Amino acid sequence: MTHAFDSGCACCMPRSGLSRRQFLCSTAAVAAAPVLAASVVGEAQAAPRAVKPGRPILLKGGCVLSLDRAVGDFERADVLIEGTKIKAVGPNLSAAGAQVIDASKSIVMPGFVDTHRHMWQGFLRNVLPDGSLMDYIQLVQRKFGANFTPDDNYAANLLSGLGCIDVGVTTVLDWSHIHNSPEHTDASIKGLQESGVRAAFAYGTPQTVSGNWKEASKHKYPGDIARLRKQYFNSDDQLLTLFLASPLGTPEEITAIWKAARDVGARITVHVGTGPIGRSGLLEKLHAVEPLKSDTTYVHCCELNNTEWKLIKDSGGTVSIAGYVEMLMGHGNPPTQRAIDFGVRPSLSVDVETSVPSDFFTQMRSIFSLQKTQAWARRNAGDSNAPAFLKARDVLEFATIEGARANGLERKVGTLTPGKEADVILLRTDRLNVMPVNNAVGAVVTSMGPQNVDTVLIGGKVVKRNGQLVGVDMNRINRIGRQAQERAYKAAGVPDTRI
């Protein structure tokens, strides 16, 4: 039986009989864990491109990173899926009648979890590769967003949801501030549903030419969240869950909006600490009106003061860092080290596809290298209190475990744990960018990219196989995206060019 090891534990350092590759693949299990296996007889067969529903699925012979310390990581093991859930993780599993997917040339791990993405910009990808935050507000929000139709919302969310799946992001929080009318809201939800991604739908404000969302004539924010709960989110047993995306304002205005969310049991997400305006001490002021609670995710947090960080920690709040865009657009330095200093393990997010790659490999490397740069600078300056370096394992946990926690889904996703939903990705290890693999966690964090994402399962359903989305008419998707793009450019008065 393959043993699971903790690379930071002296009793689990490499020893006689354990190969270097095995040790490097088997990181961060607390101790030898009992194998959680099904004692049934199985059959081996070639995996079909589209797996038939109803039969167990056995992911066979992969390097398994469960990211659950009680389960362990394995150089070679299997993952058994029954229905929507993970049944067992360990070596030499079998199940009668199972459909077997060969994972022998793959790293098998939980899907990535994005905690903040404005998915209504799905067909505006790369429209602003060089822009600042103010450029984004002027072009994307006030020109494009203010003129969006419900059909635009649907197309964008469908494109962005499929794009998430394609790069191994199985769960995403849709920070959806494009609700110019209830029809826009319904269309956004329809796009998410059709994409098949697991999503936290964060209901937000409309967009207007002036930037003042209250001037929009047809919106019903935030009160319409009660309808959404009843119509779309009346069950916990579904891929979509409900959040509220909060605007900024006075503490009294914000807490009134947050009450609408809490009245229907929705979690809250809010941008704070962004640029110079983020130095206002808003969280202190909010806390004075109503104590901060654990149901809130704070996005960016680049310019928060020490008191605000302590309030987040003490309240049990969560943090979402979008390192690439924060450095690109002028939000401030990604506060990875600040979060760690205050005992907060952050989650990661893409933010805007208008300017940022949609994959999580970019996000992990952005914050990993920046934290090390900052730590090295302090060490090289003679700072005896310089922080410890992040490890690749930390960053992978930010991209999975902490994302699940921030999205309120830690009981469902984030690790390969028996009983959790089967949101699983298979990353190919026989590609030139990683072969031969010497360290599985290191390969994922520092070398892999979207081209390594071979297979994706969400809730036990195979939605990508052999590098292709399953059951998706790409000609239709391309047509929907292009039609929405043409409408949006025309309505915004922006030249529709490709150069």
User: CATH number of the domain that 93 lies in?
Assistant: 2.30.40.10
Contact partners, residue 202, CB within 8 Å, separation at least 6: 173, 174, 175, 176, 243, 244, 245, 269
- 28 and 56 inside one domain: yes
* Nearest alpha carbon to residue 403 among 461, 450, 345: 345
145 close to 433: Cβ distance less than 8 angstroms: no
Using the 3D structure, point to which of 406, 432, 457 is the last residue of a domain.
406
Res 41: pLDDT: 29
Q: Which tens digits make up the pLDDT trace of 323-358?
A: 999 999 999 999 999 999 999 999 999 999 999 999
Q: Which tens digits make up the pLDDT trace of 447-461?
A: 999 999 999 999 999
Task: Reply yes or no on whether the pLDDT at 31 is more than 60.
Answer: no
Q: Which tens digits make up the pLDDT trace of 185-220?
A: 999 999 999 999 999 999 999 999 999 999 999 999
Res 50: pLDDT: 56
- 129 and 234 inside one domain: yes
Q: What is the pTM of this model?
A: 0.91
Measured CA distances, 183 to 59, 150, 161, 222 (Å):
41, 6, 19, 15
- 250 and 391 inside one domain: yes
CA 375, 365, 110, 17 torsion: positive or negative? negative
Res 30: pLDDT: 34
* pLDDT mean over 395-422: 98
Res 421: pLDDT: 98
266 close to 202: Cβ distance less than 8 angstroms: no
- C-alpha 90/C-alpha 469 separation (Å) is 27
Measured CA distances, 246 to 24, 187, 299, 310, 386 (Å):
43, 20, 11, 21, 36
State how many domains the chain has: 2
Read out DSSP for 70-119? Answer: TT-EEEEEEEEEETTEEEEEETT-B-TTPEEEE-TTEEEEEPEEEEEE-G
Across the chain, mean pLDDT equals 91
* pLDDT mean over 223-242: 97
- 122 and 101 inside one domain: no
Res 168: pLDDT: 98
The answer to whether residue 65 is domain-embedded is: yes
Measured CA distances, 11 to 3, 26, 30, 46, 192 (Å):
13, 14, 10, 40, 47
Res 52: pLDDT: 64
Q: Which tens digits make up the pLDDT trace of 132-186?
A: 999 999 999 999 999 999 999 999 999 999 999 999 999 999 999 999 999 999 9
Res 353: pLDDT: 98
Task: Reply yes or no on whether the pLDDT at 37 is more than 50.
Answer: no
The answer to whether residue 494 is domain-embedded is: no
* pLDDT mean over 45-62: 72
- 155 and 71 inside one domain: no
- 157 and 15 inside one domain: no
Confidence of residue 473 (pLDDT cuts 50, 70, 90): very high
- C-alpha 351/C-alpha 354 separation (Å) is 9
* Nearest alpha carbon to residue 168 among 412, 349, 400, 425: 425
Task: Reply yes or no on whether the pLDDT at 44 is more than 90.
Answer: no
Res 11: pLDDT: 32
Using the 3D structure, point to which of 376, 406, 436 is the last residue of a domain.
406
- C-alpha 278/C-alpha 299 separation (Å) is 11
- C-alpha 361/C-alpha 390 separation (Å) is 16
Instruction: Give me the percent of the chain exceeding a pLDDT of 70.
Output: 89
- 438 and 382 inside one domain: no
Confidence of residue 415 (pLDDT cuts 50, 70, 90): very high
- 72 and 144 inside one domain: no
Res 51: pLDDT: 60
Task: Provide the residue range defining the domain that includes 24.
Answer: 10-110+415-466
List the structure tokens of 124. Answer: 């505006």
- Give the side-chain half-sphere CA count within 13 A for 128: 24
- DSSP category for residue 450: G
Contact partners, residue 489, CB within 8 Å, separation at least 6: 495, 496
The answer to whether residue 277 is domain-embedded is: yes
* Nearest alpha carbon to residue 298 among 314, 321, 315, 331: 321
- 262 and 391 inside one domain: yes
The answer to whether residue 471 is domain-embedded is: no
Res 12: pLDDT: 33
Q: Which amino acid type is present at position 131?
A: G
Q: Which tens digits make up the pLDDT trace of 239-250?
A: 999 999 999 999
The answer to whether residue 332 is domain-embedded is: yes
- 57 and 138 inside one domain: no
* Nearest alpha carbon to residue 85 among 480, 333, 418, 449: 418
The answer to whether residue 489 is domain-embedded is: no
Confidence of residue 497 (pLDDT cuts 50, 70, 90): confident
- 89 and 214 inside one domain: no
Min mean pLDDT across 24-28, 148-152, 422-426 is at: 24-28
- 317 and 386 inside one domain: yes
List the structure tokens of 373. Answer: 């740069």
Using the 3D structure, point to which of 406, 427, 456 is the last residue of a domain.
406
* pLDDT mean over 475-482: 98
The answer to whether residue 473 is domain-embedded is: no
The answer to whether residue 354 is domain-embedded is: yes
Confidence of residue 498 (pLDDT cuts 50, 70, 90): confident
106 - beta bridge partners? Answer: 428
Run of H or E including 376: helix 360-380
Task: Reply yes or no on whether the pLDDT at 257 is more than 50.
Answer: yes
CATH number at residue 164: 3.20.20.140
Res 108: pLDDT: 98
- C-alpha 238/C-alpha 126 separation (Å) is 32
